[in-house]
Amino acid sequence: MPHINLLPWREASRKEAQKQYLSILFLVTLVSFGSMFVISMVYSSMKEGQNLRNGFLTAEIVVLDRRIAEIKELDKKKESLQQRMRLIEELQSSRNLGTQIMDELAKMVPSGVYLTSLERKDRALQIVGKSESNNRLSSMLRQLEGSYLFEKPVMQDIVAVEKQSRLLSDFKMQFSVKPFEEIGEANK
């Protein structure tokens, strides 16, 4: 047996092992690249799906923003209409305010008090007149304080007149008309 040459068999065995190694290496490389490609495709499709959802949400947000703008515009129109309605209601109820003021003053001025002038600026009223006694003026002040139409009566001055009869003294009084809302509540 010394003459048996095993070299070609070893060489063939080595080549076969090398072929198996290279085929396994090629197969592992192919499987690695294939799995990387599949993973990349999965992530790519997930990313694309998320981008589609984001696009849908963005489109819906734009639609909702338009609706919100329309709602704000409607709220502005509603507020404008309500303001007009309040103004019309106030004008309607204050249409007879001058008559109400004169009627209420006529009821409150006691005998012995004479009004010589009445001035109105917005809600402020100033009356000038003559009085036989201060008690009658204080009675008039109390009636003005209890009135449904007037508020904040203030006696500015009382002056005894020396030239004319000493029975009468001049006075100046200031008060204001209550706001529309308070008058409306008092009349209910």
CATH number for the domain harbouring residue 145? 3.30.1360.10
Q: Is 188 in a helix, a strand, or coil?
A: coil
Query: Tens of pLDDT along 72-121?
Result: 999 999 999 999 998 888 777 767 777 777 777 788 778 878 888 888 88
| Residue at which a domain ends, from 70, 92, 107 | 107
From CA 144, how far away is CA 151, in angstroms rounded? 7
48 lies in the same domain as 19: yes
| Residue at which a domain ends, from 107, 136, 162 | 107
**What residues make up the domain containing 77?**
9-107
In a domain, 2, yes or no: no
Closest CA to 138 of 112, 102, 162: 112
Query: Tens of pLDDT along 121-167?
Result: 877 888 888 887 778 877 888 887 888 777 887 777 777 766 655 67
161 lies in the same domain as 130: yes
- 63-92 as b/e: b if 16+ CB within 10 A: eeeeeeeeeeeeeeeeeeeeeeeeeeebee
